[in-house]
Amino acid sequence: MNKISKSFILVFALALISLPPLHAHPLIFNAQAASQAPTAQAPDDMTNKITALVSAGKYAEAQRLTTGLLVVYPDDQRLIKAKALIEKWLASPALAVPAPGSSQSTNNASQAEVSSNAEQLTGMDKVDYSALIELAREAQQTTDLSQQDILLRKFMEDSGKFLQKHPNEMLLWQLRAASAISLNAPMAGYQAGQKLLSAGAAESSDSSLQRLLGQLKNKGWLDKQEAERLQVVAENERQQAWSRAEAVRIKAEDIKYTFPARHMHLASWGYGHLTISENDLVYDGSDGHIQLSKGEIREITANGGWGGLKFILKDRKVFVFVIITEDAVTNQHYEQWLSPTGVGNAVVARWRFVLADNNKALKPPTP
């Protein structure tokens, strides 16, 4: 190892151990709750892993681990200083990075063992991981609760796909557990909790992680049967809230009948316009033309609290339409869903559908 490298690692190690203890909010995405949360900083075993990665010449991996930990401990000055030093190291052409397999890298490899698979990610997997961390950070920092909800749902969707391929990324499971609490998603919280427990989280000295597990436990989400029961309750509450909104009377002249929408088609989405005519539903979009007679439709329900409506036919086929903005249709880019209340009002006004099943669905009137 050259003198410059030794000097850098010495400065880096001092940066991680010499700063006085500072505190940061644990990972709680709800902005109001975060202001009241106990404080914590990254545990020593995690900062030691960063130092070991640097010693082994694995600077990119050290940078990614540090960036991820900063989402959980955003005010930990040790991490902030370490990140700045690593970025300075990576940006300097005068500092040679040891090649994989070199004697320096090999001699220090045992110091760089990390419990997750983070250092094994390559190519687009590394990019996808970084994008997820950035998405979680953005959700954590926003003060707009409606925007926060949208970002959290996208994080849950995207991280779920990523973890199917890389199931041992424990930091992502921790982020998913916190997101599930904010979204009131019991089964997602149960799944994340089980992953964390199986990785030894119950024995961790990390106060933020212990608090997160305590929240899951108090909610009953660490028990599968209770989590399943609470998931049904949560879904019913979301549907009832939507149905109550649909029950509000609106003057006929205020009702719209055409809406910018995106339509779920196989594994992708199309963008276009949905119209409730006198006797039909008509959709024209980038994925084609759809026309359904009101006589074909058995019921209409909220799309599981995730936005839009499910039109369920008598032959059990399902069509999902999510109301969006005109700009989203023009750009064919989904940013956020809008309330489906307007479509519900149009259906009631044009088709005379009525609320049924304890206000959970719109159905044709009884003959």
DSSP 67: H
Buried b (16+ CB within 10 A) or exposed e, 86-95: beebeeeeee
Residue 50 and residue 168 in one domain: yes
CATH number for the domain including 326? 2.30.29.30
Q: How far is CA 24 from CA 37, 167, 190, in A?
A: 9, 27, 26
| Nearest partner of 16 among 39, 49, 38, 40, judged by Cα | 49
pLDDT at 29: 35
Pairing type for strands 361-363 and 318-323 reads unpaired
Pairing type for strands 318-323 and 297-302 reads unpaired
Alpha-carbon distance of 288 to 329, in angstroms, equals 14
Residue 260 and residue 354 in one domain: yes
* Domain range enclosing 94: 3-222
Residue 265 and residue 149 in one domain: no
Residue 213 and residue 259 in one domain: no
pLDDT in tens, the chain (367 residues): 444 444 444 444 444 544 333 333 333 333 333 333 334 677 777 777 887 777 666 777 777 777 777 777 777 878 887 777 777 666 644 333 333 333 333 333 322 332 333 446 788 888 888 889 888 888 877 778 778 888 999 999 999 999 999 998 888 999 999 999 988 999 999 999 999 999 888 988 877 788 899 999 999 999 999 999 999 998 888 777 766 665 554 444 457 889 999 998 766 789 999 999 989 999 999 989 999 999 999 999 887 656 788 999 999 899 999 999 999 999 888 777 888 888 888 898 889 888 877 777 898 987 6
Q: How far is CA 314 from CA 179, 252, 296, 301, 364, in A?
A: 36, 28, 6, 14, 11
Residue 173 and residue 259 in one domain: no
Domain boundary among 205, 222, 239: 222
Residue 212 and residue 275 in one domain: no
In a domain, 55, yes or no: yes
In a domain, 269, yes or no: yes
pLDDT at 224: 94
Residue 56 and residue 100 in one domain: yes
In a domain, 115, yes or no: yes
All residues at 6 or more sequence positions from 47 whose CB lies less than 8 Å from its CB, including other chains: 16, 17, 78, 79, 82
In a domain, 292, yes or no: yes
In a domain, 233, yes or no: no
Pairing type for strands 297-302 and 288-293 reads unpaired
**Cβ(117)–Cβ(168) below 8 Å:** yes
Alpha-carbon distance of 56 to 1, in angstroms, equals 10
What's the total number of domains in the chain?
2
In a domain, 246, yes or no: no
> What's the pTM?
0.45
Helices in the chain by DSSP H: which ranges?
3-17, 31-34, 44-55, 59-72, 77-91, 103-107, 123-141, 145-165, 170-183, 186-198, 207-219, 224-246, 326-331, 341-351
Question: Which amino acid does the sequence have at 222?
Answer: L
pLDDT at 110: 29
- Lateral strand order in the sheet of 258-265: 288-293, 280-285, 268-276, 258-265, 318-323, 309-313, 297-302, 361-363, 354-356
Strand partners, 354: 363
In a domain, 96, yes or no: yes
Measured at the CA of 61, the angle between CA 129 and CA 156, to 5 degrees, comes to 20
Strand partners, 276: 281
